[in-house]
Amino acid sequence: MQKSWKTLHGPHRGRWAKQWILTRWLRLIPSDCKTPSRLPRNMVAALSVGLALLLTGCAVPTNPNAWRLPNPPSPSSSTSPSPVTPLMPAYPPVPAVLPKPIVLGKNYPGVLNLPAHMNEPWIRVKITTPQATPPHVNPNLYAGRVYDIRLADGKYVAINALPIESYLTGVLSKELYANWAMAVYRAQAIAARTYALYQIETFGRTHAWDVTGTQSSQVYGGRDAETPHSRLATRQTAGIVMEGEAHSQWGVFCAYFSACNGGAEESAHAAWGDHRVSTLVNKYTGNLDAACPDFTWSPMAIPMWAVSDAVHWWGVKNKLPYLAELGSVTDIAITRSNPITGRPEIITLTDAAGHIGEMRAENFRLALLMDPNPAIHAPPSSFFRIVVKPQEILLVDGHGFGHGVGLSQWGAEKLATEGYSARYILQMYYPGNILHREW
């Protein structure tokens, strides 16, 4: 009697099962095909697979239903498969401390110690933008000497090297109106000299120039810009600079200034993350520079695509992945304002995927201002409120022109017309500073 594999038990069960399956396989082969030379290719392959499974000792299921395919699910019980999410790197988090932008240079110390007396330094001013061939500059329009340098990318710029006092005579009349009071000119001369000396001792140590001739440093016009007011103010204040305190040390600091702060002076730390200096503070100044045409400016609409473009460019420029990798911005809000002045300090942006990036309000303005896309326009200052609309943002309650750090030129003119001296004006905008003659 032939034994069924279902009834086999004991230690020989596996051997009998293998013989039984082999017998079943051979019965399925036609009698005229049982010689190896006449077996069909597919039958040979099937036998090979079956024998390989048996010889490797695979367990034979005791449940005959195990060979059956499961019934298809009913339409009511079927569920949609979960979408496959590609493996993506973690989105870069916003750092706990926002870094200072690269475009404004390295984060130098708050103050620099200088010798008690020093010789008048020379300053190097970049007077042209980079171009493919050496620029043509009339050297007779500039004091000192003019020369070309070749940059690392192969482009050329023109540099004007001259004594710092000669440089200042070409700065004051480009920064101030011709009919403004002499006290303003003297205050501006001391602030501009302090700023320039700080740049010579910091940025200039590692670069081919100390300052530029544009608003990114101080506006400089060469000999053509010199006026009787600029020469007189420079001569009356020759060698005098301001000193401030940081971390119990006194020295020359970066004496920023702007056209109009809109009633609220901003510290350099709040604006860009500079080291804290006692003379650069957040301060409410009221209507002191209300005569400025941009003391209050009209609402300004900026498309969302322009916000996204500028923020992405700023992130790439300054190597900030949490901004460079933001997608299309869908929401933007002021998340921190200064408790003294009310000026916005931190702006938070959210893209369509819910990713978040933060930046300082002044850096947001600079991103719009410096973006190479000419279709993108920037607000006059970073002192505003934000109203979000579906396809744009509206900047409202805007005040001031420029970054608002340090001296306000329009406010200084107001104080000068009321009879206040240059020393008082400098104490107003750089509280606690000490005047010192360096040469």
Return the pLDDT at 7. Answer: 43
168-204 pLDDT, tens per residue? 999 999 999 999 999 999 999 999 999 999 999 999 9
- 55-59, long-range: CB < 8 A, 24+ apart: 57/14
Instruction: Return the amino acid letter for 410.
Output: W
Q: Are 368 and 386 in contact (CB under 8 A)?
A: no
* Closest by CA position to 274, among listed 71, 51, 90, 106: 106
Return the pLDDT at 395. Answer: 98
Dihedral sign for Cα atoms in the order 21, 25, 28, 33: negative
Question: At what angle are helices 228-236 and 182-201 packed, to 10 degrees?
Answer: 70
CA angle 239, 242, 245 (to 5 degrees): 145
Question: At what angle are helices 409-417 and 422-429 packed, to 10 degrees?
Answer: 140
**CA–CA dist 221, 121 (Å, integer):** 19
**CA–CA dist 307, 393 (Å, integer):** 9
Return the pLDDT at 165. Answer: 98
Q: Other C-beta atoms within 10 Å of 398: how many? A: 21
**CA–CA dist 39, 53 (Å, integer):** 20
Residue ranges of the chain with pLDDT lower than 70? 1-89, 103-107
What pTM was computed for the model?
Answer: 0.79
197-254 pLDDT, tens per residue? 999 999 999 999 999 999 999 999 999 999 999 999 999 999 999 999 998 999 999 9
Three-state DSSP state, 121: coil
Three-state DSSP state, 96: coil
User: CA-CA distances (angstroms) from residue 275 to 41, 253, 279?
Assistant: 83, 10, 11
β-strands 407-408, 257-258: how paired? parallel
Return the pLDDT at 27. Answer: 54
